[in-house]
Amino acid sequence: MMNPSKIKEGGVEYSIGKFNGKTMSYDFDRILIYLNAKGKLLFGKHFKICEEDYSILWKLTNYFIRDPENCAKHNIDPDKGLLLSGPVGCGKTSFMKLLKYIVPHRKPYVVMPCRNIVFGFNHIGHKIIEDYGNTQSFCFDDLGVEPMGRHYGKDCNVMGEILISRHELFLKAQIKTHATTNLNAQELEELYGIRVRSRMRQLFNLVAFDVNARDKRK
């Protein structure tokens, strides 16, 4: 039987809590130690979780471990996906790539840049929209800054169409969709329209970095 409290990385075993055979109790301090180590493996030796991000990481961690009390406290529904918003370079993509590793017993999602999806549409057309409307879980990275799709001279708001498909999938089969964005709610509505925006409210929990969060790439 898998013990979700123990995770091995590069020959080192990390404990992120205690498991009694039935229930798991997580330890946030231990999770931080593990995430710093895993982040260095994924993103290089200079990766470091900054103290200023602990509060948002606390919210995200509670979502991923499905802690009912703390999710309720932060108005997060663990059955919906995440829309993680914040300024350029604040760490949205890194966190979404990283956090799925604290729950290795759950089916992982694939992080996919929205611009790559649009480039795929430009080459092969509407099959791309079908491909992303399947039962795989995705995190659409950098939602809202992708170009308009164009195939055989016809324009298409590719990510808008995909979000409508993902909404149907969520209603039918409770399959989650996650996304990261630099845009606010008003900008997303202007880009995708009110129809898509209302579906996004059902699809996502909005979790936002502070608007003044610094660019960690600098």
- Give the β-pairing of 12-15 and 24-26: unpaired
Overall average pLDDT of the 113-126 stretch: 95
pLDDT reported for residue 105: 84
* Band of residue 2 on the pLDDT scale cut at 50, 70, 90: confident
Other CB atoms within 10 Å distance of the CB of residue 121: 25
Of 20-24, 95-99, 122-126, the one with minimum mean pLDDT is 20-24
Instruction: Find how far residue 216's CA is from the centre of its chain.
Output: 19
More confident site: 218 or 120: 120
* Band of residue 213 on the pLDDT scale cut at 50, 70, 90: confident
| Residue 100 DSSP class | G
Bridge partner residues of 15 (DSSP): 6
pLDDT at 3 over 90: no
pLDDT at 129 over 60: yes
Alpha helix stretches (DSSP H) within the chain: 28-43, 54-64, 68-73, 92-99, 114-124, 127-131, 158-173, 185-192, 194-203
Bridge partner residues of 111 (DSSP): 139
pLDDT reported for residue 210: 84
Distance CA 186, CA 89 (A): 21
| Amino acid at the residue 14 | Y
Distances (CA, A) of 175 to 56, 78, 107, 193, 198: 24, 12, 11, 23, 18
* Band of residue 98 on the pLDDT scale cut at 50, 70, 90: very high
Q: Which of 75, 82, 80 is nearest to 99 (CA)?
A: 82
Overall average pLDDT of the 210-217 stretch: 80
Contact 83/128 with Cβ under 8 angstroms? no
Of 2-11, 29-38, 41-50, the one with minimum mean pLDDT is 2-11
Residues of the chain by 3-state class (helix, strand, coil), percent to 5: 45, 20, 35
pTM of the entire predicted model:
0.93
Contact 80/204 with Cβ under 8 angstroms? yes
Of 58-67, 114-123, 183-192, the one with minimum mean pLDDT is 183-192
Domains of the chain with CATH codes: 78-208 (3.40.50.300)
Contact 110/82 with Cβ under 8 angstroms? no
Of 2-16, 54-68, 112-126, 154-168, the one with minimum mean pLDDT is 2-16
Q: What is the rounded average pLDDT for all residues in the chain?
A: 93
